[in-house]
Amino acid sequence: MKNYLNFETEIKNIENEIEKLKDPFNKEGISQVDTKKIDKLEKDLEYKIKKIYSKLDPWQTTLVARHEERPKTKFFIDNLFTDFFPLHGDRLFGEDKSLIAGLGKFDNYSVMIIGQEKGDDLESRIQRNFGMMRPEGYRKSIRLMKLADKFNLPIIFFIDTPGAYPGVGAEERGQAEAIARSIECSMSLGAPTISIIIGEGGSGGAIALASTNKVLMLENAIYSVISPEGCASILWRDPKKTLEAATAMKLTSKDLLELKIIDEIIPEPNGGAHRDKNLILSNIKGSIQKNLDYLTTKSRDEIISLKKDKFLNIGRDKGLSNNILSSDKLFTNNTLDVLKSGKFFVSKNKYAILFILFLLILTISYFS
């Protein structure tokens, strides 16, 4: 039974009608008239899917990124790589089953693969902790990053997580420290690194594996610092304002490419990656091949330098520099003009200063 999202009602109705016409229990078979009708409905279906998916809003994109049938990391490892040899444990605490990692072959390249896995059914999702990694998972990834770097093996990350696991045990074992160390380790690697956001890229849990030379993103994936539900609950005290939150957060692949937070969008089949898994495999394979061919021509020093420049430049074009005075302007001889311009202080700051001045005058008056 297919799972449909709440905006796919029309798609569901057309597909159900097609299934009825193709009913194998119809002993008389499908008539010529029925065949023509099926052809027409299939064309209508293709048009309807294309129309709906070409106009997805950020919240609808979030729902597609979370789709139960969306291909997961294990699927990509099984179908994109050969001779995969899994590696386990962080050598400190234990194994984190939400992370699949190991050595494998990608065409002519020997690579390290590290990916977050959500699971395909209830049992596997519980076993994989719904893709939410614990500290031992991040420390395992650090261990394997260092191993790959020692032999100058390219590292390919698959990212699909709602975020790092926020449980008490995880916090006691140093969740934040493990994430920070993973980012630090990834940034220092001289081996080529590529990360692919295939579903959800949630907060620090995703960034820990996305501090790479190339950050690729499937067309209907998302990448954000918090979930739309969490953002809506904090800003509006209303978890139903998910559309407003998702729109403000700029979490879609198009927004993130424009902001230069990601490097490339990998196109998805019409209707999402789950509708044509062979096509999405082909698209991802081509993108990995292209980026590996480019990165493997660079020296280790160039790899580190390119990565450093990439992340330091994020926000320079569309960040604070366009809206707030730069630091060099604040310390010129025209400081008085800067203050008069009104850009330095917002209204709240003005009231705070007036209040402080009032207190000073009151104190002086009291002691005099």
- The full set of domain ranges for the chain reads 9-55, 64-312, 327-367
- Which positions ≥6 away from 283 have C-beta within 8 Å? 266, 267, 268
Q: What is the structure's pLDDT at 279?
A: 96
Q: What is the structure's pLDDT at 333?
A: 46
Measured in Å, how far apart are the chain's first and last C-alpha atoms? 84
- Long-range contact pairs involving 123-132 (C-beta distance under 8 Å, separation at least 24): 127/97, 128/97, 128/98, 129/96, 129/97, 129/98, 129/165, 130/98, 130/162, 131/98, 131/160, 131/161, 131/162, 131/200, 132/98, 132/161, 132/162, 132/163, 132/164, 132/165, 132/166, 132/205
Dig out the tokens for 187 from the structure. Answer: 């940034």
Digitized pLDDT (tens) for each residue of the chain, 368 residues in all: 688 998 989 999 988 888 888 776 555 555 544 677 888 888 999 999 999 999 999 999 999 999 999 999 999 999 999 999 999 999 999 999 999 999 999 999 999 999 999 999 999 999 998 989 999 999 999 999 999 999 999 999 999 999 999 999 999 999 999 999 999 999 999 999 999 999 999 888 899 999 999 999 999 999 999 999 999 999 999 988 999 999 999 999 999 999 999 999 999 999 999 999 999 999 999 999 999 999 999 999 999 999 999 999 888 765 444 444 343 443 444 544 544 455 544 444 555 666 666 666 666 665 65
pTM of the predicted protein model: 0.82
Q: Which CATH class is domain 64-312?
A: alpha beta
Main-chain dihedrals φ then ψ at residue 110, nearest 5 degrees: -85, 125
